[in-house]
């Protein structure tokens, strides 16, 4: 089959590789119909995620049709399913507590050692995301093996098109979980850093969960425009001092909850971020947590900080005293996707979420290398890319110009 592979920093290629096979009774094999590129893939692309190996098949946001099942799978051939990016057994202590992303069985014995060494405890597994999280092939491919297929995959009714439900795999539940983690009280002001796909779903979720207002921060006009369409007030951090603006918008107390939807590769020319950039270049520091630092300083006393943004290891100049003295509550983590699948599918059917206006491009799986380049270098125009294994090479469909042309 054809599959998108990571070959090194800024090197993605589409290769012919062997087809996946059923290995364990609970497995299923899918024929992938849609698969998206994520902000998390950008961290892999930039070489910031430890434990990638040349030749790894990437992709953790995908859906498709069941083509083969093991004896222990509850799926049936021909069913359409969306697959959570977190691989979870459903029966360990963590899965029983619905902390699915912390599953203690999905990361195999062979790969969990390194993960345990780095994190203190082995992380749960994910598709297409480095050997610290299991070393499973990802779904940016024609076919994919899905372990524990009786637990994760969400069966999709025929009347729902791929684009409506694909994001149940990651960014929709991630935005929802980010907002849930912010413990929003009715009327709260919630600030969201980053208007990428995760930020955009966080904005929608925060409003659905009762926020009075959401203030979204980024610097790309097209992304800020999408945030505004979804009901947020917006701040371009190149135009204002973000903390001053947030204070002035909240009578001086700051937002009740601050959500970091940026992660380890913060943009911007502030002294701390410039120093982080230099360190990342010179020695193996992976974190550039400028947005998170700013969120902690901006948050009101006794407020909540929610961190869906991904970080890889030790961070420098972390405002720990500020966190403590202000009495902030922090919640974070990879999303326990399976916990939310059912309720979010229902909410999509009820029309609660706009799942499609953030999608800027549909392209062929064969064009993945070029799409990664665009996703990395042209974040204003490329707000979310969906790869289709069926499409002819070069058959790129961009969102209608009128919808996101600079006004």
Partner 1 sequence: MRMFTDRFAGRGKPDPFAIAVAGAGLAFAGMGYAFWRRRQKRGAEPERIATDAPHWTLDKRSARALFGKSVLVNRPREEVFAAWKVERFPEFMENVVAVEPLGGGSARWTIKGPARREVHLVNSITESIENETISWHSDAESEIANSGEVRFADAPAGRGTYVTLILAYDPPGGKLGRLGAKLLQREPEVQARRDLHRFKQLMETGEVTSNASPSARKSESPVEPHI
What DSSP string runs through 98-148? Answer: T-GGG-SSSS-HHHHHHHHHHHSSPPPEEBTS-GGGT-B--SSBSEEEESS
- How does strand 189-193 pair with strand 213-218? parallel
Q: Considering only residues 196-225, where is the footprint of partner 1 by CB under 8 A?
A: none
Q: How many CA atoms lie within 13 A of 78 on its CB side?
A: 1
Judged by CB under 8 A, the stretch of 1-9, 247-255, 327-335, 347-355 that binds partner 1 is 1-9
Asked if 3 touches partner 1 (CB under 8 A), the answer is yes
For 179, the token pair is: 């907002």
- Give min distance, CB of 165 to partner 1, in A: 24
Write out the residues near ligand NAD by the rule CB under 6 A: 38-40, 42-43, 170-171, 174, 193-199, 217-220, 223, 237, 261-263, 266-268, 290-291, 308-310, 334-335, 379
Give the residue among 12, 8, 1 at the shortest CA–CA distance from 368: 12
Query: CA-CA distance, 264 to 51, in Å (whole number)?
Result: 16
Q: Interhelix angle for 171-180 vs 337-349, to 10°?
A: 100
- Interacting partner of 10 out of partner 1, ligand NAD, Zn ion, none (Cβ under 5 to 8 A depending on kind): none
- Give min distance, CB of 38 to Zn ion, in A: 3
- Interacting partner of 379 out of partner 1, ligand NAD, Zn ion, none (Cβ under 5 to 8 A depending on kind): ligand NAD
Burial of 228 per CB tally in 10 Å (0-12, 13-18, 19+) = middle
Interface characters, 159-198, with Zn ion (x: CB under 5 A): -----------x----------------------------
Judged by CB under 8 A, the stretch of 11-19, 30-38, 226-234, 347-355 that binds partner 1 is 11-19
Q: Considering only residues 83-142, where is the footprint of partner 1 by CB under 8 A?
A: 89-93, 96, 104-113, 125, 131, 134-137, 141
For 317, the token pair is: 């100049």
Q: Considering only residues 105-124, where is the footprint of Zn ion by CB under 5 A?
A: 105
Asked if 148 touches partner 1 (CB under 8 A), the answer is yes
What is the CA 364 to chain-centroid distance, rounded? 21
- Interacting partner of 131 out of Zn ion, ligand NAD, partner 1, none (Cβ under 5 to 8 A depending on kind): partner 1
- Interacting partner of 238 out of ligand NAD, Zn ion, partner 1, none (Cβ under 5 to 8 A depending on kind): partner 1
Whichever of 145 and 384 has its CB closer to partner 1, that residue is 145
Q: Interhelix angle for 197-208 vs 171-180, to 10°?
A: 50
Query: Cβ neighbours of residue 343 under 8 Å, at least 6 residues apart?
Result: none
Query: CA-CA distance, 191 to 179, in Å (whole number)?
Result: 11
Interface ranges with Zn ion (CB under 5 A) = 38, 40, 88-89, 92, 95, 103, 105, 170
């Amino acid at each position: 089959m054809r599959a998108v592979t990571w070959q090194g920093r800024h090197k993605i290629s589409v290769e012919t590789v062997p087809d996946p096979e059923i290995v364990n009774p609970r497995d299923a094999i899918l024929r992938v119909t849609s698969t998206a590129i994520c902000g998390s893939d950008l961290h892999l692309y930039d070489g910031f995620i430890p434990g990638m190996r040349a030749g790894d098949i990437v992709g953790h946001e995908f859906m498709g049709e069941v083509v083969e099942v093991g004896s222990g799978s509850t799926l049936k051939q021909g069913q359409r399913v969306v697959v959570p990016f977190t691989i979870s057994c459903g029966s360990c202590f963590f899965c029983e507590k619905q902390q699915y992303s912390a599953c203690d069985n999905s990361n195999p014995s062979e790969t969990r050692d390194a993960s345990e060494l780095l994190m203190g405890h082995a992380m749960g597994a994910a598709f297409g995301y480095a050997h610290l999280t299991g070393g499973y092939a990802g779904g940016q491919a024609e076919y994919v093996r899905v372990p524990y297929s009786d637990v994760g995959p969400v069966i999709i009714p025929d009347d729902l098109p791929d684009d409506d439900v694909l994001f149940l795999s990651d960014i929709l539940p991630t935005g929802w979980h980010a907002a849930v983690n912010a413990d929003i009280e009715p009327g709260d002001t919630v600030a969201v850093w980053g208007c990428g796909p995760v930020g955009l779903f966080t904005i929608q979720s925060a409003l659905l969960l009762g926020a009075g207002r959401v203030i979204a921060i980024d610097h790309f006009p097209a992304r800020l425009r999408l945030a505004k369409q979804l009901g947020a007030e917006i701040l371009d951090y190149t135009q204002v001092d973000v903390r001053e603006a947030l204070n002035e918008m909240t009578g001086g107390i700051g937002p009740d909850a601050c959500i970091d939807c940026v992660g380890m590769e913060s943009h911007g020319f502030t002294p701390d971020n410039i120093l982080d950039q230099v360190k990342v270049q010179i020695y193996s520091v992976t974190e550039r947590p400028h947005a998170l630092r700013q969120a902690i300083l901006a948050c009101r006393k006794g407020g909540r900080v929610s961190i869906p943004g991904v970080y890889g290891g030790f961070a420098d100049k972390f405002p720990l005293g500020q966190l403590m003295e202000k009495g902030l509550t922090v919640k974070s983590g990879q999303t326990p996707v399976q916990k939310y699948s059912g309720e979010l599918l229902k909410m999509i059917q009820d029309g609660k979420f706009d799942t499609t206006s953030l999608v800027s491009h549909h392209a062929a799986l064969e064009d993945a290398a070029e799409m990664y380049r665009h996703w990395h270098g042209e974040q204003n125009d490329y707000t979310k890319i969906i790869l289709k294994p069926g499409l002819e090479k070069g058959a790129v469909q961009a969102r209608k110009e009128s919808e996101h042309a600079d006004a």
